[in-house]
Amino acid sequence: REVLVSTRAEAIAAAGKIGYPVVLKACSADEAHKTEKGLIAVNLASQKALTDAFATIVERAGKDYDGAYLVQEMVSGAREIMIGMHRDASFGPSVAFGLGGIFTEILQDVVFRIAPLRKRDARDMMRGIRAHKILDSVRGMPKVDQDVLATALMAVGQIALDHPDIAEIDINPLIVRGSQPVAVDALVVLTDAAG
């Protein structure tokens, strides 16, 4: 659950509707790498924490910032995965699946398949990462709903086929809450021709 806001008062109202704890993020086409710029605050458990975070993010965004702010439900889980798409000039759109969050860049445990994907392709991708056991029942956590993941992987491939103006999609992370993967951040990059 999320609400796009422009002011501190709107952020407070949104958090009241969603319920604490919440996450606050800068939301602008010019801010693709929010974490590195300190434009995300997580696990804000009170109105004071939210207003303090809002002031900090506004300051860090700078006086020329013309975007909005996203107040989101705080999603907790010990496992993070990612789904993405990259449009290659030679091969066309390829779908990515792998470990998410900071582990995407650190461990680079990601597999790719050319779109479109069938359910079998999506399941092969899930088994194709080195850390595929993260999707199994482990340490008291239930098995990840792989039907949901397969559907998401196939959908990202279909979006790429249906919309040639999309150059990249990055859904990272999908936090696994119980058995359900929940997309908590996404980036869509258009081709130069699309503007």
pLDDT score at 103: 82
How many Å apart are CA 1 and CA 9, to the nearest integer? 18
DSSP state of 135: G
| Residue 49: its H or E element | helix 47-61
Give the sign of the dihedral formed by CA 93, CA 37, CA 72, CA 21: positive
Supply the pTM of this predicted model: 0.88
Tens of pLDDT, residues 139-165:
899 999 999 999 999 999 999 999 999
pLDDT score at 194: 62
Rg of the chain over CA atoms, in angstroms? 18
pLDDT score at 33: 66
Q: Which of 107, 50, 56 minimizes the C-alpha distance to 81?
A: 107
pLDDT score at 140: 92
How many Å apart are CA 7 and CA 78, to the nearest integer? 32
For residue 104, CA distances in Å to 46, 126, 160, 162 come to 31, 15, 21, 26
Cβ pair 62, 56 in contact under 8 A: no
pLDDT in single tens digits along all 195 residues of the chain: 999 999 999 999 999 999 999 999 999 887 766 777 889 999 999 999 999 999 999 999 999 998 899 999 999 999 999 999 999 989 999 999 999 988 888 889 999 999 999 999 999 999 999 999 999 999 899 999 999 999 999 999 999 999 999 999 999 999 999 999 999 999 999 998 765
